Amino acid sequence: MKRLFFLMVSIMLVLILMACSSELRFSYELNKLINIMRAKEDTELTSEQFLKEISDSEVIFVGEIHSDSLTHVFEYELLKNIYAKHNKLAVALEMFERDVQPVLNMYLTGEISEEKFLQKSRPWNNYTSAYKPLVDFARENQLPVLAMNVPRRYANKVAMMGESTLNTIPDSGKKWIAGELKCLHDDYKEKFMNQMGGKDKPGPMARFSPENLYKAQCLKDDTMAESISDFLEENQGYKVIAFQGSFHVESGLGLAKKLKMLKPEVKQKIAVCIPVKDFNSINLERHHDKGDYLVFISDK
């Protein structure tokens, strides 16, 4: 009887260990498409090592190229794995704006149909292929989803007319934007100006002031940072996994820096997704300072 008891205990322990192991692993198919590096050390990681390290953070920033389909496969599997270890998890999305949060909440709780949700939430053109899996996973598992971005109409106003236009926003609209606009003169600004081509911007962007464009960018970062900060303040013990364009978080700047200013005690990690032609073409020197982890993605 004792031997049977110890055998059953041993089997249960093995099953538990196997279950824990499976929670910290990407699928075989995804593992063939990714190469993960711990950036500052240029150290290659297994998916198990990466997931174990990054899941310890309170905020996980995932920087993406919005149009890369394989990146969205990685993001979905990352979300599933983090949730398997931490069910007090919220998903934050750049792709939805703060003023559609009530509509998003109604969809998550089943109060409205997906059709009604999409009619009222101004989804991105690639929502169905890129972000619907994340939202639906959150819906199925009753996870909060943060529509963390500033309404684009307000960012557009700042881009066209400058910071002073924020004073014309009615009180009913101010709750959807950051309480403070912080336009730092740092590496982020220099990087942004270089990205915009300085004063010699081509095409439609030429009619905008570079300074105003930068202020609109900062308004987005400040609003997204405040969305995450407010959620963490009101929901103790939760983790947040945030999906946004890489530019917003690379090198710990932009959104990542703004959140650090609001909540310096919060441990955050940045994983930057970088599509490449093939793994032999990776230029580590070009990317090594972009995040805590570099996720190179290729289908070759």
Contacts of 18 (CB under 8 A, 6+ apart): none
- pTM reported for the whole predicted model: 0.90
- The pLDDT value recorded for residue 5 is 39
pLDDT digit string (tens) for 274-294? 999 999 888 888 898 999 999
Which of residues 8 and 203 earns the better pLDDT score?
Answer: 203
In this predicted structure, the answer to whether residue 27 has a pLDDT above a threshold of 50 is yes
pLDDT band at 299 (very low <50, low <70, confident <90, very high): confident
pLDDT at position 204 is: 62
Beta bridge partners of 61: 242, 270
Q: How large is the average pLDDT for residues 171-183? A: 95
Return mean pLDDT, the chain. 90
How much is the pLDDT for 14? 34
Cα distance between residue 98 and residue 92, in whole Å: 11
Q: In this structure, are residues 22 and 31 in contact, taking their beta carbons and an 8 Å threshold?
A: no
Specify the higher pLDDT residue, 256 or 19. Answer: 256
Give me the pLDDT at residue 25, please.
86
**Among all chains, which residue has been given the structure tokens 């002073």?**
164
Tens of pLDDT, residues 51-107: 999 999 999 999 999 999 999 999 999 999 999 999 999 999 999 999 999 999 999
β-bridge partners, 244: 63
pLDDT in tens, 137-172: 999 999 999 999 999 999 999 999 999 999 999 999
Give mean pLDDT, residues 223-235. Answer: 98
Per-residue pLDDT, 198: 54
Domains of the chain by residue range: 2-297
Residue range 222-245: mean pLDDT, rounded: 98
**pLDDT-based confidence at residue 40 (cuts at 50, 70, 90):** confident
Q: Answer whether residue 22 shows pLDDT above 60.
A: no
pLDDT for residue 19: 46
Q: Is residue 238 scored above 70 in pLDDT?
A: yes
Q: Which of 105-119, 186-200, 226-240 has the lowest mean pLDDT?
A: 186-200
CATH hierarchy code of domain 2-297 = 3.40.50.11550
Predicted pLDDT of residue 203 = 60
Task: Report the chain's C-alpha Rg in angstroms.
Answer: 21
Mean pLDDT of 22-43: 87
Distance between start and end Cα atoms, the chain: 55
Look up residue 204 and give its two tokens. 């439609």
For residue 112, give the DSSP letter: S
Q: Could you give phi then psi for residue 164, rounded to 5 degrees?
A: -65, -20
Segments in 143-263 forming alpha helices (H): 152-161, 171-174, 187-196, 210-234, 255-262
pLDDT band at 271 (very low <50, low <70, confident <90, very high): very high
